[in-house]
């Protein structure tokens, strides 16, 4: 008696057919059955694709890191950017390259150049002299007619009227001197007779202002003497009527008088 087909084999064939028909229905192919791609092939393709993406990412990262390192060495900005930085057409300031220690600090101290230019007296022939003296704010013209009587020994050689201006410069430099003296022991700018407005009390205790004569030595070499006494240097010394003034080692005497005291 012939053996009938094994139920096991029939079930396997029927299962294979059903799976084929199910696959065709699942993929929706009207033309028939299409086999699903093998799982091993898809996994292998995905690994190669991911490896290429990793290599491309590494190359992009390495290139960007090299560009940033070049910008840092060239003094550029450390800001990270995928696009290259546009160069500015404006010239770069040189002050950035200078260290703080090499920058010169401003000096606001007075140089004296303006005062020297203001006090410079120029002659017609081009010679110039810088004045050593400036009048104080209390300088005034005198109301009395002060005079200098010049004696050489017992003989009067000259009479000088010194009431027409507030100050008289005495010295050997005739370009600036109001009263020139020629003795070699005297300085070019030796001394100044200055009239100053000062406050004083009268016999009743009332305060009133008056103009008095003073003399100041301009740091001369041999000094200035009043009544045979050397006066302080660069300080005002009050003069009075009948005072005798000498300059340097000159023997000439300058006697100070005014109108009411004049002989």
Give domain status of residue 189, yes or no: yes
Average pLDDT over residues 90-98: 55
Q: Is the pLDDT of residue 95 over 70?
A: no
What is the CATH number for 140? Answer: 2.60.200.20
pLDDT at 65: 75
Q: Is the domain of 138 the same as that of 256?
A: yes
Q: Is the domain of 255 the same as that of 178?
A: yes
Average pLDDT over residues 155-173: 95
Q: Is the domain of 59 the same as that of 145?
A: no
Give domain status of residue 214, yes or no: yes
Q: Is the pLDDT of residue 112 over 50?
A: yes
Q: Is the pLDDT of residue 263 over 70?
A: no
Give domain status of residue 247, yes or no: yes
Span 126-158, pLDDT tens digits:
778 889 899 999 999 999 999 999 999 999 999
Under 8 Å between Cβ of 150 and 180: no
Average pLDDT over residues 189-205: 91
Q: Is the domain of 68 the same as that of 141?
A: no
C-alpha to C-alpha distance for 76 and 84, rounded to whole angstroms: 12
The length of the chain in residues reads 263
Give domain status of residue 112, yes or no: no
Q: Is the domain of 165 the same as that of 237?
A: yes
Nearest to 229 by CA among 217, 241, 212: 217
Span 16-30, pLDDT tens digits:
555 455 444 444 444
> Which DSSP symbol is given to 6?
P
Span 169-183, pLDDT tens digits:
999 999 999 999 999
Give domain status of residue 120, yes or no: no
Q: Is the pLDDT of residue 235 over 90?
A: yes
> Which DSSP symbol is given to 61?
H
Give domain status of residue 104, yes or no: no
pLDDT at 2: 46
What band does 60 get if pLDDT is binned at 50, 70 and 90?
confident
Number of domain units in the chain: 2
Give domain status of residue 143, yes or no: yes
- On average, the pLDDT of the chain sits at 77
C-alpha to C-alpha distance for 166 and 35, rounded to whole angstroms: 127
Q: Is the pLDDT of residue 110 over 50?
A: yes
Q: Is the domain of 51 the same as that of 158?
A: no
Q: Is the domain of 145 the same as that of 232?
A: yes
- Least confident window among 51-55, 76-80, 153-157: 76-80
Q: Is the domain of 220 the same as that of 147?
A: yes
Q: Is the domain of 51 the same as that of 148?
A: no
Tabulate helix, strand, coil % of the chain (nearest 5): 25, 25, 50
Under 8 Å between Cβ of 214 and 236: yes
Query: Pick the residue with more confidence: 205 or 228?
Result: 228
Q: Is the pLDDT of residue 97 over 80?
A: no
Give domain status of residue 219, yes or no: yes
Q: Which domain holds residue 41?
A: 10-28+35-73
Q: Is the domain of 135 the same as that of 40?
A: no
Query: Pick the residue with more confidence: 42 or 237?
Result: 237
Q: What burial class does residue 134 get, using C-beta atoms within 10 Å of its C-beta: 0-12 exposed, 13-18 middle, 19+ buried?
A: exposed
Q: Is the domain of 69 the same as that of 137?
A: no
């Amino acid at each position: 008696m012939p053996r009938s087909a094994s139920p096991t084999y029939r079930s396997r064939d029927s299962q294979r057919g059903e799976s084929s028909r199910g696959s065709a229905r699942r993929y929706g192919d009207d033309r028939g059955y299409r086999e699903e791609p093998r799982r091993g092939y898809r996994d292998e393709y995905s690994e190669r694709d991911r490896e290429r993406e990793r290599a491309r990412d590494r190359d992009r990262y390495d290139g960007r890191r090299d560009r940033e390192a070049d910008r840092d060495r060239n003094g550029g900005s450390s800001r990270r950017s995928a696009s290259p930085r546009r160069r500015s057409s404006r010239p770069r300031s040189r002050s950035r390259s200078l260290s703080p220690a090499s920058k010169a600090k401003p000096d606001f101290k007075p140089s004296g150049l303006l005062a020297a230019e203001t006090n410079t007296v120029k002659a017609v022939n081009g010679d110039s002299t810088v004045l050593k003296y400036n009048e104080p704010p209390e300088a005034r013209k005198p109301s009395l007619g002060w005079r200098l009587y010049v004696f050489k020994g017992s003989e009067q050689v000259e009479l000088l009227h010194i009431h027409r201006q507030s100050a008289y410069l005495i010295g050997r430099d005739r370009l600036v001197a109001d009263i020139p003296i020629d003795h070699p022991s005297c300085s070019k700018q030796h001394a100044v007779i200055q009239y100053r407005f000062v406050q004083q009390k009268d016999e009743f205790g009332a305060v009133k202002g008056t103009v008095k004569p003073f003399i100041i030595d301009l740091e001369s070499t041999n000094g200035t003497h009043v009544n045979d006494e050397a006066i302080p240097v660069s300080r005002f010394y009050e003069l009075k009527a009948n005072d005798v003034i000498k300059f340097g080692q000159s023997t000439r005497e300058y006697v100070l008088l005014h109108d009411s005291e004049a002989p």
